[in-house]
Amino acid sequence: MSELDAPAARLRDALADASRGLVERDVLVQLIALSAVAGEHLLVIGPPGTAKSEAVRRVATGLGGNFFEYLLGRFTEPGEIFGPVDLKRLRDGVVEARTEGMLPEADVAFLDEVFLGSTAILNTLLGLLQDRVYRRGSTLVRSPLRVCVGASNALPADPALSAFADRFLLRVFVTPVLDPDLEALLEAGWSGTPANPRTASLSDVDALATAARRADLAPVRRSLAGVVRTLRAQGVRLSDRRVVKLQKLVAAAAVLAGRECPNEADLWPIVYAVPDAEGQALAKEALRELLASSENEALAAAAEDAAAGPVARAARLARAGEALLAEDGDVLSIEGVLREIDAGFDPDALPESLDALRPRLVAALER
Protein backbone atom coordinates (compact mmCIF):
# COMPACT_ATOMS: atom_id res chain seq x y z
CA MET A 1 0.00 0.00 0.00
CA SER A 2 1.43 3.37 -1.01
CA GLU A 3 1.85 6.13 1.56
CA LEU A 4 -0.18 8.28 -0.83
CA ASP A 5 -3.27 6.10 -0.61
CA ALA A 6 -4.65 7.43 2.68
CA PRO A 7 -4.38 11.19 1.98
CA ALA A 8 -5.57 10.67 -1.60
CA ALA A 9 -8.58 8.69 -0.36
CA ARG A 10 -9.51 11.32 2.22
CA LEU A 11 -9.25 14.06 -0.38
CA ARG A 12 -11.32 12.02 -2.84
CA ASP A 13 -14.08 11.56 -0.27
CA ALA A 14 -14.05 15.25 0.65
CA LEU A 15 -14.31 16.25 -3.01
CA ALA A 16 -17.17 13.81 -3.60
CA ASP A 17 -19.15 15.39 -0.76
CA ALA A 18 -18.24 18.92 -1.85
CA SER A 19 -19.61 18.14 -5.33
CA ARG A 20 -22.88 16.69 -4.05
CA GLY A 21 -25.72 18.95 -5.10
CA LEU A 22 -23.50 21.09 -7.34
CA VAL A 23 -24.87 20.07 -10.72
CA GLU A 24 -22.25 19.96 -13.48
CA ARG A 25 -19.58 21.43 -11.19
CA ASP A 26 -17.65 18.30 -10.18
CA VAL A 27 -14.88 19.13 -12.68
CA LEU A 28 -14.43 22.56 -11.11
CA VAL A 29 -14.31 21.10 -7.60
CA GLN A 30 -11.69 18.54 -8.62
CA LEU A 31 -9.52 21.06 -10.45
CA ILE A 32 -9.36 23.23 -7.32
CA ALA A 33 -7.85 20.25 -5.49
CA LEU A 34 -5.46 19.48 -8.36
CA SER A 35 -4.32 23.12 -8.31
CA ALA A 36 -3.71 23.00 -4.56
CA VAL A 37 -1.57 19.87 -4.80
CA ALA A 38 0.34 21.29 -7.78
CA GLY A 39 0.85 24.60 -5.95
CA GLU A 40 -0.74 26.52 -8.81
CA HIS A 41 -3.79 28.73 -9.24
CA LEU A 42 -7.06 28.32 -11.11
CA LEU A 43 -9.07 30.78 -13.20
CA VAL A 44 -12.80 30.15 -13.63
CA ILE A 45 -14.54 31.86 -16.53
CA GLY A 46 -18.31 31.98 -16.72
CA PRO A 47 -21.43 34.09 -16.20
CA PRO A 48 -22.69 35.10 -12.74
CA GLY A 49 -24.87 32.66 -10.87
CA THR A 50 -23.09 29.49 -11.98
CA ALA A 51 -22.00 28.31 -8.49
CA LYS A 52 -18.34 29.31 -8.89
CA SER A 53 -18.01 30.74 -5.39
CA GLU A 54 -20.07 27.93 -3.82
CA ALA A 55 -17.74 25.33 -5.30
CA VAL A 56 -14.67 27.06 -3.86
CA ARG A 57 -16.32 27.50 -0.44
CA ARG A 58 -17.15 23.81 -0.27
CA VAL A 59 -13.63 22.73 -1.16
CA ALA A 60 -12.21 25.17 1.39
CA THR A 61 -14.54 23.71 4.03
CA GLY A 62 -13.44 20.22 3.08
CA LEU A 63 -9.77 21.14 3.53
CA GLY A 64 -10.02 23.29 6.65
CA GLY A 65 -7.65 26.17 7.31
CA ASN A 66 -8.25 29.86 6.58
CA PHE A 67 -10.48 30.85 3.68
CA PHE A 68 -10.55 34.34 2.18
CA GLU A 69 -13.19 35.49 -0.31
CA TYR A 70 -13.74 38.89 -1.90
CA LEU A 71 -15.61 40.48 -4.80
CA LEU A 72 -13.32 43.01 -6.44
CA GLY A 73 -14.49 46.24 -8.05
CA ARG A 74 -13.01 49.32 -9.64
CA PHE A 75 -12.90 51.11 -6.29
CA THR A 76 -11.63 48.26 -4.13
CA GLU A 77 -8.77 49.44 -1.94
CA PRO A 78 -5.65 47.30 -1.39
CA GLY A 79 -6.36 47.28 2.34
CA GLU A 80 -9.63 45.43 1.73
CA ILE A 81 -7.65 42.51 0.30
CA PHE A 82 -4.30 42.56 2.04
CA GLY A 83 -5.18 44.25 5.33
CA PRO A 84 -5.35 47.87 6.53
CA VAL A 85 -2.41 49.90 7.69
CA ASP A 86 -1.90 49.68 11.44
CA LEU A 87 -2.66 53.27 12.49
CA LYS A 88 -0.96 52.93 15.86
CA ARG A 89 2.29 51.84 14.22
CA LEU A 90 1.85 54.54 11.56
CA ARG A 91 1.86 57.20 14.29
CA ASP A 92 5.27 55.85 15.25
CA GLY A 93 6.43 56.37 11.66
CA VAL A 94 6.24 52.69 10.67
CA VAL A 95 4.12 51.46 7.74
CA GLU A 96 2.82 48.06 8.71
CA ALA A 97 -0.26 46.15 7.53
CA ARG A 98 -2.60 44.16 9.74
CA THR A 99 -3.01 40.96 7.76
CA GLU A 100 -5.03 38.88 10.22
CA GLY A 101 -7.98 37.31 8.42
CA MET A 102 -6.90 38.77 5.07
CA LEU A 103 -5.54 37.24 1.85
CA PRO A 104 -1.85 37.03 2.92
CA GLU A 105 -2.80 34.63 5.73
CA ALA A 106 -5.31 32.51 3.77
CA ASP A 107 -4.81 28.85 2.89
CA VAL A 108 -7.47 28.92 0.16
CA ALA A 109 -8.73 32.10 -1.54
CA PHE A 110 -11.46 33.09 -3.98
CA LEU A 111 -11.30 36.44 -5.78
CA ASP A 112 -14.41 37.15 -7.82
CA GLU A 113 -14.18 39.58 -10.77
CA VAL A 114 -10.44 39.37 -10.28
CA PHE A 115 -9.55 41.47 -13.34
CA LEU A 116 -11.42 44.49 -11.97
CA GLY A 117 -8.75 45.08 -9.36
CA SER A 118 -6.68 48.25 -9.55
CA THR A 119 -3.11 48.27 -10.82
CA ALA A 120 -1.87 48.44 -7.21
CA ILE A 121 -3.91 45.37 -6.24
CA LEU A 122 -2.94 43.32 -9.31
CA ASN A 123 0.75 44.14 -8.98
CA THR A 124 0.72 43.07 -5.34
CA LEU A 125 -1.21 39.92 -6.25
CA LEU A 126 1.41 39.03 -8.84
CA GLY A 127 4.05 38.72 -6.16
CA LEU A 128 1.78 36.98 -3.69
CA LEU A 129 0.55 34.37 -6.18
CA GLN A 130 3.97 33.64 -7.59
CA ASP A 131 6.22 33.81 -4.52
CA ARG A 132 3.71 33.36 -1.66
CA VAL A 133 5.14 36.50 -0.06
CA TYR A 134 3.36 39.75 0.83
CA ARG A 135 5.37 42.93 1.35
CA ARG A 136 4.24 46.37 2.41
CA GLY A 137 6.45 48.81 4.27
CA SER A 138 7.98 46.88 7.14
CA THR A 139 5.47 44.04 6.71
CA LEU A 140 6.72 40.78 5.23
CA VAL A 141 4.32 37.83 5.43
CA ARG A 142 5.13 34.40 4.04
CA SER A 143 1.72 33.27 2.88
CA PRO A 144 0.46 29.72 3.47
CA LEU A 145 -1.70 30.02 0.34
CA ARG A 146 -2.19 26.63 -1.34
CA VAL A 147 -4.47 27.83 -4.12
CA CYS A 148 -6.14 31.02 -5.24
CA VAL A 149 -9.18 30.72 -7.47
CA GLY A 150 -9.89 33.77 -9.58
CA ALA A 151 -13.21 34.24 -11.37
CA SER A 152 -14.38 36.45 -14.18
CA ASN A 153 -17.23 36.63 -16.67
CA ALA A 154 -14.71 36.59 -19.54
CA LEU A 155 -11.01 36.52 -20.27
CA PRO A 156 -9.50 40.02 -20.29
CA ALA A 157 -9.05 41.67 -23.68
CA ASP A 158 -6.52 44.17 -22.32
CA PRO A 159 -2.95 43.01 -23.16
CA ALA A 160 -1.78 44.76 -19.99
CA LEU A 161 -3.58 42.09 -17.96
CA SER A 162 -2.00 39.15 -19.79
CA ALA A 163 0.99 38.82 -17.43
CA PHE A 164 -1.32 38.71 -14.44
CA ALA A 165 -3.74 36.25 -16.08
CA ASP A 166 -0.83 33.94 -16.93
CA ARG A 167 -0.24 33.38 -13.21
CA PHE A 168 -3.39 31.22 -13.23
CA LEU A 169 -2.05 28.03 -14.77
CA LEU A 170 -5.33 26.16 -14.97
CA ARG A 171 -8.46 27.43 -16.70
CA VAL A 172 -11.99 26.07 -16.49
CA PHE A 173 -14.93 27.46 -18.44
CA VAL A 174 -18.39 27.05 -16.92
CA THR A 175 -21.83 27.60 -18.42
CA PRO A 176 -25.37 27.48 -17.00
CA VAL A 177 -26.68 23.99 -16.30
CA LEU A 178 -27.90 22.24 -19.46
CA ASP A 179 -31.59 21.51 -20.08
CA PRO A 180 -31.45 17.75 -19.30
CA ASP A 181 -30.12 18.49 -15.79
CA LEU A 182 -32.56 21.23 -14.82
CA GLU A 183 -34.61 18.89 -12.60
CA ALA A 184 -31.44 17.93 -10.73
CA LEU A 185 -30.56 21.62 -10.35
CA LEU A 186 -33.99 22.45 -8.94
CA GLU A 187 -33.88 19.54 -6.51
CA ALA A 188 -30.37 20.41 -5.33
CA GLY A 189 -31.28 24.08 -4.90
CA TRP A 190 -34.31 23.19 -2.82
CA SER A 191 -32.50 20.61 -0.67
CA GLY A 192 -29.65 22.94 0.28
CA THR A 193 -26.12 22.05 1.31
CA PRO A 194 -25.59 18.38 2.28
CA ALA A 195 -25.16 17.85 6.01
CA ASN A 196 -22.00 16.46 7.64
CA PRO A 197 -19.71 16.31 4.60
CA ARG A 198 -16.56 14.24 4.86
CA THR A 199 -13.38 16.29 5.15
CA ALA A 200 -9.69 15.99 4.42
CA SER A 201 -7.05 18.35 5.79
CA LEU A 202 -4.34 20.73 4.65
CA SER A 203 -1.81 18.19 5.88
CA ASP A 204 -3.22 15.73 3.33
CA VAL A 205 -2.76 18.34 0.60
CA ASP A 206 0.77 19.07 1.80
CA ALA A 207 1.70 15.37 1.91
CA LEU A 208 0.52 14.90 -1.66
CA ALA A 209 2.23 18.14 -2.77
CA THR A 210 5.51 16.95 -1.26
CA ALA A 211 5.21 13.62 -3.07
CA ALA A 212 4.43 15.44 -6.33
CA ARG A 213 7.59 17.53 -6.00
CA ARG A 214 9.60 14.30 -5.60
CA ALA A 215 8.04 12.60 -8.63
CA ASP A 216 10.29 11.43 -11.45
CA LEU A 217 8.97 12.97 -14.67
CA ALA A 218 11.59 11.32 -16.90
CA PRO A 219 9.28 8.45 -18.02
CA VAL A 220 6.68 10.88 -19.42
CA ARG A 221 8.85 13.80 -20.48
CA ARG A 222 9.06 12.61 -24.10
CA SER A 223 5.28 12.17 -24.23
CA LEU A 224 4.82 15.59 -22.67
CA ALA A 225 7.03 17.20 -25.30
CA GLY A 226 5.08 15.34 -27.97
CA VAL A 227 1.83 16.78 -26.62
CA VAL A 228 3.19 20.31 -26.84
CA ARG A 229 4.35 19.71 -30.43
CA THR A 230 0.91 18.34 -31.34
CA LEU A 231 -0.80 21.37 -29.84
CA ARG A 232 1.53 23.75 -31.64
CA ALA A 233 0.74 22.00 -34.91
CA GLN A 234 -2.96 22.69 -34.24
CA GLY A 235 -2.27 26.36 -33.58
CA VAL A 236 -2.60 26.04 -29.79
CA ARG A 237 0.15 28.12 -28.23
CA LEU A 238 1.50 27.75 -24.71
CA SER A 239 4.06 30.08 -23.20
CA ASP A 240 7.38 28.56 -22.16
CA ARG A 241 6.35 29.17 -18.54
CA ARG A 242 3.22 27.09 -19.04
CA VAL A 243 5.10 24.31 -20.84
CA VAL A 244 7.51 23.93 -17.91
CA LYS A 245 4.72 24.04 -15.34
CA LEU A 246 2.76 21.31 -17.11
CA GLN A 247 5.07 18.92 -15.29
CA LYS A 248 3.67 20.07 -11.94
CA LEU A 249 0.15 19.26 -13.08
CA VAL A 250 1.12 15.79 -14.33
CA ALA A 251 2.96 15.03 -11.09
CA ALA A 252 -0.01 16.24 -8.99
CA ALA A 253 -2.44 14.14 -11.02
CA ALA A 254 -0.25 11.09 -10.51
CA VAL A 255 -0.02 11.35 -6.73
CA LEU A 256 -3.77 11.97 -6.47
CA ALA A 257 -4.19 8.72 -8.39
CA GLY A 258 -1.86 6.98 -5.92
CA ARG A 259 1.07 6.77 -8.32
CA GLU A 260 4.51 7.90 -7.21
CA CYS A 261 5.75 7.71 -10.80
CA PRO A 262 3.59 9.46 -13.44
CA ASN A 263 2.63 7.69 -16.65
CA GLU A 264 0.54 8.55 -19.72
CA ALA A 265 -2.68 8.14 -17.71
CA ASP A 266 -1.67 11.37 -15.92
CA LEU A 267 -1.23 13.67 -18.93
CA TRP A 268 -4.86 14.82 -19.04
CA PRO A 269 -4.43 18.05 -16.96
CA ILE A 270 -2.55 19.54 -19.92
CA VAL A 271 -5.93 20.31 -21.51
CA TYR A 272 -6.83 22.66 -18.65
CA ALA A 273 -3.56 24.57 -19.00
CA VAL A 274 -4.60 25.73 -22.47
CA PRO A 275 -5.59 29.37 -21.87
CA ASP A 276 -8.83 29.71 -23.86
CA ALA A 277 -11.98 27.67 -24.44
CA GLU A 278 -11.44 27.28 -28.18
CA GLY A 279 -7.91 26.02 -27.60
CA GLN A 280 -9.11 23.54 -24.99
CA ALA A 281 -11.65 22.13 -27.47
CA LEU A 282 -8.89 21.76 -30.08
CA ALA A 283 -6.63 20.10 -27.53
CA LYS A 284 -9.27 17.53 -26.56
CA GLU A 285 -9.74 16.58 -30.20
CA ALA A 286 -6.05 16.56 -31.14
CA LEU A 287 -5.02 14.54 -28.06
CA ARG A 288 -8.01 12.17 -27.97
CA GLU A 289 -6.00 9.07 -28.84
CA LEU A 290 -3.11 9.83 -26.50
CA LEU A 291 -5.41 10.68 -23.57
CA ALA A 292 -7.74 7.70 -24.04
CA SER A 293 -5.94 5.87 -21.21
CA SER A 294 -6.48 8.73 -18.75
CA GLU A 295 -7.62 7.57 -15.34
CA ASN A 296 -7.76 9.11 -11.88
CA GLU A 297 -9.93 7.77 -9.09
CA ALA A 298 -9.71 10.95 -7.03
CA LEU A 299 -10.37 13.29 -9.97
CA ALA A 300 -12.49 11.06 -12.18
CA ALA A 301 -14.79 13.72 -13.63
CA ALA A 302 -11.94 16.06 -14.56
CA ALA A 303 -9.90 13.26 -16.15
CA GLU A 304 -12.89 12.07 -18.14
CA ASP A 305 -13.84 15.57 -19.26
CA ALA A 306 -10.30 16.28 -20.46
CA ALA A 307 -9.83 12.99 -22.26
CA ALA A 308 -13.34 11.86 -23.13
CA GLY A 309 -11.65 8.48 -22.69
CA PRO A 310 -13.22 5.08 -22.08
CA VAL A 311 -10.96 4.18 -19.15
CA ALA A 312 -11.96 7.22 -17.10
CA ARG A 313 -15.61 6.90 -18.13
CA ALA A 314 -15.74 3.19 -17.17
CA ALA A 315 -14.14 3.93 -13.79
CA ARG A 316 -16.68 6.67 -13.07
CA LEU A 317 -19.65 4.51 -14.04
CA ALA A 318 -18.34 1.61 -11.97
CA ARG A 319 -18.08 3.82 -8.89
CA ALA A 320 -21.51 5.33 -9.47
CA GLY A 321 -23.11 1.90 -9.93
CA GLU A 322 -21.45 0.40 -6.86
CA ALA A 323 -22.55 3.38 -4.76
CA LEU A 324 -26.17 3.01 -5.95
CA LEU A 325 -26.16 -0.69 -5.10
CA ALA A 326 -24.64 -0.08 -1.68
CA GLU A 327 -27.15 2.68 -0.88
CA ASP A 328 -30.18 0.90 -2.39
CA GLY A 329 -30.39 3.71 -4.94
CA ASP A 330 -33.56 4.82 -6.68
CA VAL A 331 -34.76 3.25 -9.92
CA LEU A 332 -34.23 6.35 -12.07
CA SER A 333 -30.60 6.68 -11.01
CA ILE A 334 -29.89 3.01 -11.69
CA GLU A 335 -31.57 3.25 -15.09
CA GLY A 336 -29.46 6.31 -15.86
CA VAL A 337 -26.20 4.44 -15.17
CA LEU A 338 -27.38 1.48 -17.27
CA ARG A 339 -28.30 3.77 -20.18
CA GLU A 340 -24.89 5.42 -20.07
CA ILE A 341 -23.13 2.03 -19.99
CA ASP A 342 -25.12 0.77 -22.97
CA ALA A 343 -24.68 3.99 -24.95
CA GLY A 344 -20.97 4.32 -24.31
CA PHE A 345 -19.65 0.77 -24.68
CA ASP A 346 -19.94 -2.18 -27.06
CA PRO A 347 -21.88 -4.88 -25.15
CA ASP A 348 -19.45 -7.52 -26.43
CA ALA A 349 -16.41 -5.60 -25.22
CA LEU A 350 -17.40 -4.14 -21.86
CA PRO A 351 -14.54 -3.27 -19.47
CA GLU A 352 -14.22 -5.91 -16.78
CA SER A 353 -15.59 -3.66 -14.03
CA LEU A 354 -18.76 -2.86 -16.01
CA ASP A 355 -19.19 -6.41 -17.27
CA ALA A 356 -19.52 -7.57 -13.66
CA LEU A 357 -21.59 -4.58 -12.57
CA ARG A 358 -24.25 -4.45 -15.31
CA PRO A 359 -26.15 -7.66 -14.40
CA ARG A 360 -26.24 -6.59 -10.76
CA LEU A 361 -27.80 -3.27 -11.73
CA VAL A 362 -30.39 -5.07 -13.89
CA ALA A 363 -31.17 -7.38 -10.99
CA ALA A 364 -31.64 -4.39 -8.69
CA LEU A 365 -34.25 -2.99 -11.10
CA GLU A 366 -36.16 -6.26 -11.13
CA ARG A 367 -36.49 -6.48 -7.36
Instruction: Give the model confidence (pLDDT) of 297-337 as tens digits.
Output: 889 889 988 886 566 667 778 878 888 888 877 777 788 78
pLDDT grade for 1, boundaries at 50, 70 and 90: very low
pLDDT given at position 309: 54
Domain ranges (residues) in the chain: 5-185, 215-306, 312-366
Instruction: Give the model confidence (pLDDT) of 65-85 as tens digits.
Output: 999 999 999 999 999 999 887
pLDDT grade for 149, boundaries at 50, 70 and 90: very high
CATH 3.40.50.300 fits 5-185, yes or no: yes
At residue 330, φ and ψ (nearest 5 deg) are -75, 160
pTM (two decimals): 0.84
